[in-house]
């Protein structure tokens, strides 16, 4: 038995090493990246043990924001859901998923659970000022315009100021940020995860 586990671990390492060797750039992200999880995800360790990578949340998400983590993002999280604000924002707050969330309802293992909109915090947004239209002197503040949370973004002389404590990580600002490349991206910093399945 012990032997079996060791052997499996060894093989896993080997596969990982193989990918490191073959996929150069992607491999830098190994062993695994911290990603933005859907609203109401259990704490990462529990989440990973409960999520079966069935993809139900991803398939039923109303906005299409959920994508499976790629192998490049980490063998450990491969196939688990993450929020991708470039595709769509998450509507758990001020959107269609306030009261009922398809991702949560369709999760067969309670790796995702329902939390009240006021308690949703998936992460926060980061600003790359060099890409920001407003910072470069243009008129923008689209981020402020679309943000559903009072005080998460405050404009100062036409330039957005981000308050990560208030930001819930819904991704609306990232989705709508007009420049290419965008001036915003989402990180799990400050996320509020759930301790137990209720």
**Contact residues: other proteins, CB under 8 A:** 3, 6-7, 10-11, 14-15, 18-19, 21-23, 58, 63-64, 67-68, 70-72, 87-89, 91, 94-96, 133-134, 138-142, 144-146, 150, 155, 158, 171-173, 175-176, 178-180
* Residue from 20, 179, 187, 190 binding ligand SF4 (CB under 6 A): 179
* Residue from 51, 107, 115, 177 binding ligand SF4 (CB under 6 A): 177
Structure tokens at 7: 């052997």
Among the listed ranges 14-22, 25-33, 43-51, 132-140, the one in contact with ligand SF4 (CB under 6 A) is 132-140
Three-point CA angle 194, 195, 198, nearest 5°:
80
Mind spelling out the 3-state secondary structure of 168-191?
CCCCHHHHHCCCCCCCEEEECCCC
CB of 197 to other proteins, least distance (A): 27
Structure tokens at 8: 């499996």
DSSP 8-state secondary structure symbol assigned to residue 37: P
CB of 84 to other proteins, least distance (A): 9
Binding of ligand SF4 by 188 (CB under 6 A): no
* Residue from 35, 36, 41, 184 binding ligand SF4 (CB under 6 A): 184
Which of ligand SF4, other proteins, none does residue 51 bind to, with CB < 5 to 8 Å depending on kind? none
Structure tokens at 85: 């604000």
The answer to whether residues 154 and 134 touch, using CB atoms and an 8 Å cutoff, is: no
Closest residue by Cα to residue 90 from 124, 67, 111, 65: 65
Structure tokens at 58: 């991803």
Question: Which positions from 42 through 101 interact with ligand SF4, judged by CB under 6 A?
Answer: 61-63, 65-66, 90-92, 97, 101
Rg (CA), the chain: 18
Beta carbon nearer to other proteins, 156 or 198: 156
Question: Which positions from 29 through 48 interact with ligand SF4, judged by CB under 6 A?
Answer: 38-39
Q: Please give the Cα distance from 181 to 188 (Å, whole number).
A: 20
């Amino acid at each position: 038995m012990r032997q079996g586990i060791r052997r499996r671990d060894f093989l896993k390492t080997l596969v990982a090493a193989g990918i490191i060797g073959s996929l150069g750039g992607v491999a830098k992200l190994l062993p695994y990246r911290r990603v933005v999880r859907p609203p109401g995800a259990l704490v990462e360790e529990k989440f990973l043990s409960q999520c079966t990578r069935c993809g139900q949340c991803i398939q039923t998400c109303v906005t299409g924001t959920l994508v499976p983590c790629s192998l490049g993002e980490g063998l450990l999280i491969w196939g688990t859901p993450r929020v991708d604000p470039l595709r769509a924002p998450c509507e758990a707050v001020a959107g269609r998923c306030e009261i009922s969330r398809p991702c949560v309802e369709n999760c067969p293992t309670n790796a995702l659970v329902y939390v009240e909109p006021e308690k949703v915090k998936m992460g926060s947004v980061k600003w790359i000022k060099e890409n920001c239209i407003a910072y470069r002197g243009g008129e923008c503040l689209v981020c402020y315009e679309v943000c559903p949370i009072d005080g998460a973004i405050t404009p100062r002389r036409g330039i957005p100021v981000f308050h990560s404590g208030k930001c819930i990580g819904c991704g609306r600002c990232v989705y709508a940020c007009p420049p290419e490349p965008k001036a915003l991206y989402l990180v799990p910093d400050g996320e509020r995860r759930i301790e137990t399945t209720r």
